[in-house]
Structure 1
Amino acid sequence: MRFFLVIFFFIGSLVYGQEQLPLRGLAIAAPSPEHVDRFVDFIDRELSLININTLILRVDYNYQYTSHPELVDKNPLSKSEVRKIVDICAKHGISIIPQINLLGHQSWAEDVGKLLEVYPQFDETPGIQMPENYQWPNTDGLYCKSYCPQHPDLHKIIFALVDEVTAAFKADAFHAGMDEVFYIGDQHCPRCSGMDKAELFAAEVTRIRNHLADTGKRLWIWGDRLIDGKVTGLGMWEASMNTTHRAIDLIPKDVFICDWHYERADPTAVYFAMKGFDVASCSWRNSAVATQQQALLHTLRSSATAAMKARYQGMIQTVWGSPEGFMDMWEQKDLKTPNEANTMRALFN
């Protein structure tokens, strides 16, 4: 069966005149312990058959860290459960890139995240209190909290977690998130007030990158904070309206950029590639947009120089619900409903 699938993909590439994109990825939350076996089976039966070769797993604090057990969340993965995921991915040649959200996304809705819960002194905006009932927009401009990248005690803690999670997943890359950072360089922060927001963002990216590079690992981040939201018209979510976009000229070129756009096939991959970065386009639940993004990458690669072609790496399907919810959608095969499962089918089947 697998032989015929390989032949199918090969013939398809000849028929359509397109080579397969180098990167075929899925970004999804790590499963909870009770769903690990099902997730492993899903990788074995489904992801392997559509040639997924990269799995970005949002782990955050859902692992039994030994370096800082105070930061372990309520239902963490054990080493043995992680090993099951690592082994099945190794069997199918799938690279795992674990993710912990760094800088931004230190809270969600009414709840502060584990890092700021345990270490409130790391909060960039301690004067902004979490609401009982979160609503957007709000007078505080609160979407998600950020940590203060200038706090002297911060990095020895988060880098211990980064080292531990990359070792557990036998990963040669790490995803730091770093998207949708609205709180940075706050005027009330005793360390960051008055500092250039682009320089602050670039310094944090570079510091994380350098730590990973010391052990031969690569940094991946979402790309939205590096795009000018005003000039492009992309606004504050898919791009930056607080000047962090200038950091694109201040960070190392070996940082891998995950360029997400969910409502239109915005051609910002060209921007990142021309700045010297490897880039992947990221889709969500709009199949038409996803296939347009993929077609654009094929067009760009077909007419690019060798240097530019190598930077257009491929597609990453993002899933923002639970892994079990995504697996349910995949197995239901409700092809009429716009969702992440159908978008991934459109991309990779």
Structure 2
Amino acid sequence: MRNLIILLLLISMPLLAQSKIDSLLPVRGFSIAAPQAGHVDKFIGFVEKELVPLQINTLILRVDYNYAYQSHPELRDKETLSNEDVKRLVAMGKKHSINIVPQINLLGHQSWAEDLENLLKVYPEFDETPHIPMMDKYEWPNEHGLYCKSYCPLHPDVHKVVFALVDELMEAFEASAFHAGLDEVFYIGDDNCPRCSGHDKAVLYANEVTKIRNHLALKNRQLWMWGDRLIDGKTTGIGMWEASMNNTHRAIDLIPKDVFICDWHYERPDKTAVYFAMKGFKVATCSWRKPEVSMVQVEDMLKFRAESTPAMRDNFQGNILTVWSGAESFIDSYYKSDDNEQRQMLEMFGAL
């Protein structure tokens, strides 16, 4: 089936190739962890050898604490990218007209498996659920429903810290857009939180998104975010991972329309990009490890743009391939086999 889908798509491409690729898919993106210190040359080489020829024009880099922050050096990873390292990435982006969108996970994803991320490790008072312990050996499911910790969006000091990091990173990358993550937020409005208890979870979530958006807008920067918490997981049947089961989905009607939505679906090519576009948002569909899903998503996006009204067409922005491993391990595996799934998915853009 996968080969059939690939064949059908490639057969259709010569008909599409007469148009400019930017008109077909304005955003042709790749999302990956930022390279580690000492591996910037390797990463730049990969981008120039593999991504540039495939006309990738957007690079989401998950930086988090992998940068030598001056505003809060206590939050740095042990080894970090220097400002000089980042400027080399910036120069690469400018040279090849690649829009680099740096990312720090905000609100959710403040822990992973058995480990707290740096923010809650250094500032435990920001924890939305301090009463829920981290596990010595992580398992899912568990009695506390612990996937990833969140910071408390109503803590009076949390934004002073995270916005300082955001501002510094945006200056370093000379970026016009920032990705705040905001996905898979299972802990919000916890009953035991002295600030959030009793609050409407949708309003809490919407207010946090809006606060981040407004801060970025002060310097004409755009907020990008994952879209899963804005989808009703129960009504759609999509469930708790790629959609919300804790009532944050109503926030879609409460946040500014200039937020860019990265709509990820990894197991099925769900058509929720249409939902976001009809709500007035610009949206890109995101895939991961299944070429057959990614192929359908690209075909869908081409159809949505071709068959929409002029008012809707530009809301369908394109497609983004996500990678959930370190940059170095991904690059190594990318060259091990010609049958690499990410290689197949990236080549979709080259076929346009």
Measured in 2, the distance between the counterparts of 1:108 and 1:18 equals: 37
Aligned residues of 1:18 and 1:298 also touching (Cα < 8 A):
no
Residue 100 of structure 1 corresponds to which residue in structure 2?
A: 104
Q: Are 2:123 and 1:119 aligned?
A: yes
Q: How does 1:74-93 map to 2 (within 5 A)?
A: 74-93=78-97
Report the equivalent of 1:20: 24
> Structure 1 residues 125 and 340 mapped into 2: Cα distance closer, same or farther (>3 Å)?
same
Any idea what SS the aligned residue of 1:63 has?
coil
Shift in alpha-carbon separation, 1:154–1:66, aligned structure 2, 3 A: same
Partner secondary structure for residue 264 of structure 1: coil
The separation in 2 between residues aligned to 1:162 and 1:19, in whole angstroms, is 31
* Alignment-mate amino acid for residue 104 of structure 1: G
Aligned with 2:241: secondary structure? Answer: helix
* Pair 1:15–1:99, CA change in 2 (3 A): closer
Partner of residue 178, structure 2: 174
Q: CA deviation at 1:309?
A: 0.5
Against the structure 1 CA distance between its residues 324 and 17, is the aligned structure 2 distance closer, same or farther, given a 3 Å change threshold? closer
CA displacement at 1:16 relative to structure 2: 12
Look up the match of 1:291: 295
Letter in 2 for 1:112: L
Change (3 A) 1:16 1:85: closer
Deviation of residue 330 (structure 1)?
Answer: 2.5
Task: Pick from 330, 333, 336 the counterpart of residue 329 of structure 1.
Answer: 333
| Structure with more contact order per residue of length (Cα contacts < 8 Å, sep ≥ 6) | 2
Query: Structure 1-normalised TM-score?
Result: 0.94
Identify the residue that residue 42 of structure 1 maps to in structure 2: 46
Q: Kindly report the root-mean-square deviation, in angstroms, between the aligned alpha carbons of the 2 structures.
A: 1.7
What is the distance in 1 between the residues matched to 2:157 and 2:247? 26
The letter of the residue matching 2:187 is: Y
In structure 2, relative to structure 1, the CA distance for the partners of 1:72 and 1:12 (3 Å cut) is same
TM-score by length of 2: 0.93
Correspondence for 2:255: 251
SS at 1:176 equivalent: strand
Between the two proteins, what is the percent identity of the paired residues?
A: 60
Give 1:11 deviation, angstroms: 7.4
Deviation per CA, 1:24-52: give whole Å up to 9, x if none: 00000000012111001112222111111
1:53 aligns with 2:57: yes
- Asked if 1:158 corresponds to 2:184, the answer is no
* Equivalences for residues 197-276 of structure 1 within 5 A: 197-276=201-280
**Distance (whole Å) between structure 1 residues aligned to residue 350 and residue 210 of structure 2:** 33
Query: Residues 18 and 32 of structure 1: is their aligned pair in 2 closer, same or farther, counting only changes over 3 Å?
Result: closer
Match for residue 144 of structure 2? 140
User: Could you say if the C-alpha distance between residues 138 and 63 of structure 1 is closer, same or farther in structure 2, counting changes exceeding 3 Å?
Assistant: same
CA deviation map 1:154-180 (0-9, x unaligned): 101100000000111110000000000
* Secondary structure of the corresponding residue to residue 317 of structure 1: strand
Cα distance in 2, alignment partners of residues 99 and 107 from structure 1:
16
- Residues 285-326 of structure 1 deviation map (CA, whole Å, 9 limit, x = unaligned): 111110101101111111111121000000000000111122
Extract unaligned runs of 5+ from structure 2.
1-12
